[in-house]
A and B are shown apart, each in its own frame.
Chain A
Amino acid sequence: MTAFRIGTGAGFSADRLEPAVDLAERGRLDAMVLECLGERTVAFGHRDRMIDPKRGYNAHLERRMRALLPPCRAAGTVIVTNMGAANPRAAAERTVEVARGLGLKGLKVACIEGDDVSAIVPKDQPFMDEPGKLSDVGLTVVGMNTYLGIDAILPALKAGADVVIGGRLADPSMFLAPLAHRFGWDPADTARMGAGTLVGHLLECGMQVTGGYFADPGMKDVPDLAACGFPIAEVEADGSAVITKLPDTGGAVTPATVKEQLLYEVHDPSRYLTPDVTADFSKVQIASMGHDRVRVSGAGGAPRPDKLKVTIGFDGGFQGEAGVSYAGPGAQARGELAAEIVRARLAKMLSPQADRRFDLIGTASLFATAGLRASNAEDVRLHVTVRSTSREDAELMLWEVESLLCCGPAGGGGFRGAIAPWVITKSALIDRSQVKPTLEVLVA
């Protein structure tokens, strides 16, 4: 049996499109996966859907489908994606309209629902890794989605779908399902589930395995990162795979890029939980097979967990951010004085519950809490963040920071400020038996 060629067309909601089109056109793929959901992305999708029932799916869905459907259909490439976010049905209907507009008659678009478990989760539902229960929170719930695995995706592939669209489909499951479908893997075969999950885990963040999120000039140089290619896995029937990318694309696939992605967002490497398997990455072998080709093998697994994770999104109010810059001699002291002024004035103005933070970019920001601080920086930016259930708190902060231009230390310039809605998420576990995924196949 020839290797199954699976590639990534997006590794997060705002990922690039043109390397995905390149991969669809030249990759001879059997399947392309677009992974576009983070925990908070779904909650933001629910907010969009509340405003307009036709929305709530990935903002780039139409553009992506218009560009990818023709080359994928020409190459016989199945698309699997969670771009449906909080509204898979609207996403599938929109995709059918796009396909009709492109003349792709007969294209089968599968819509998977059932990840929205807001009707199932009880008020006294306890949280997963923190104390408390749902009814304690006191914020408006915007959505609740559980992670669906291959048992939700396989029926769509068996129905011959060209495009599979869901909401909270688990990232690695979107890769594992086409592999299990092609090779006829038994979902109870934990070794194969572990091997396919490894492929999914390595590919789910797109370019993070082909040189993205990796370059450190002088230490880890990556060629032509501006034209980085998305990854391809050539997967064998036993689940081992070669990770590679298209020739004539930027980036690099090396044992080092693969190692870094192997443990990305992993805690215990021998127990990586997904809806499909308790995957074991602790004995994975990584071997260079030549330029931009790395073979991975040796992943294992234990039975899948009985419980499924649910992400619960709450309306978290608003976040305001604003800044002013100082440069030249004494810049650090002037920036610190600016922070003191705003801090003192906001203390009298904002509601007590409003969270606030004062960073001096160039001196202490990302590592401020860690206790690392540059001294005598000569180009600094005061950056103030306020988060509150009241929009007025954020507006007052922006006003205060802008007022520094005339009322603050010498030479301050470059005010910018913005306010955005905020969501908060918490996790819970529910019994797998309560979750009933559904499938409907729409035809263009």
Chain B
Amino acid sequence: MSALRPNTPRFVRDIAHARAGDKGNISNVSVWAYDPEDFDLLKRALTPERIKREFPALVHGRVDRYVIEHLHGLNFVLHDALEGGVNRSLNLDSHGKSWSYLLLGLKLDEA
């Protein structure tokens, strides 16, 4: 199940996979490098500061990043980032299930 890695990866999705979950108005997105060799690149590309900067109208709170070094994974906790959460959000995706693809859609070279 390895990714069809392009010669020059351009997007986070080219080197990593991700899953989003919600609790209240907090979204968490875990992002995992397919290839351990890309983990450093992933860590450089996805920083809490960048995620805040990319989605200022969505992510109102702080962004925490937990590094799971031995599994080559990052867990992002995006506070106040679900338009009020499942109770208040009028987004069709009120759980923010698709937020994983917000991160996977970011370009690697604009970090």
List A residues 205-253 near B (Cβ within 8 Å).
213-214, 216, 218-221, 252
The digit string for B20-35, where 1 denotes a CB below 8 A from any CB of A, is: 0111101010101010
Beta-carbon contact of A267 and B55 below 8 Å:
no
Q: Does A138 contact B (CB under 8 A)?
A: no
Which listed residue (B21, B58, B86, B102) contacts A264, Cβ 8 A? B21
Beta-carbon contact of A425 and B30 below 8 Å:
no
* Assembled-state Cα–Cα distance A256/B75 (Å): 14
Beta-carbon contact of B1 and A252 below 8 Å:
yes
Q: Does B90 contact A (CB under 8 A)?
A: yes
Beta-carbon contact of B21 and A265 below 8 Å:
yes
Which listed residue (A218, A266, A372) contacts B4, Cβ 8 A? A218
Which listed residue (A267, A284, A385) contacts B23, Cβ 8 A? A267
Contacts A219-B13, A252-B1, A266-B21 given; indicate if A369 touches B66 (C-beta within 8 A).
Answer: no
List B residues 25-82 near A (Cβ within 8 Å).
26, 28, 30, 32, 34, 55-58, 64, 66, 68, 70-71, 73, 75, 77
Q: Does A94 contact B (CB under 8 A)?
A: no
In the complex, chain A residues whose CB is within 8 Å of the CB of B58 = 369-371
Beta-carbon contact of B73 and A263 below 8 Å:
yes
Which listed residue (B30, B86, B105) contacts A260, Cβ 8 A? B30
Nearest chain A CB to B61 CB, angstrom units? 11
In the complex, chain A residues whose CB is within 8 Å of the CB of B22 = 265
In the complex, chain A residues whose CB is within 8 Å of the CB of B24 = 129-130, 427
Q: Which 6 A-B pairs have the closest CB atoms?
A: A265-B21, A357-B90, A263-B30, A260-B19, A370-B58, A424-B87
A220-B3, A260-B30, A370-B55 known; 20 other A-B pairs, CB under 8 Å?
A219-B4, A219-B13, A220-B1, A256-B34, A260-B19, A261-B19, A262-B71, A263-B19, A263-B28, A263-B75, A264-B19, A264-B30, A266-B30, A269-B66, A367-B98, A368-B91, A371-B56, A385-B90, A385-B92, A425-B87
- Which residues from chain A sit less than 8 Å from chain B, CB to CB? 39-40, 129-130, 213-214, 216, 218-221, 252, 254, 256, 259-269, 282-286, 316, 355-357, 359, 361, 365-372, 383, 385, 387, 424-427
- Which residues from chain B sit less than 8 Å from chain A, CB to CB? 1, 3-4, 13, 17-19, 21-24, 26, 28, 30, 32, 34, 55-58, 64, 66, 68, 70-71, 73, 75, 77, 83, 86-88, 90-93, 98, 102, 105
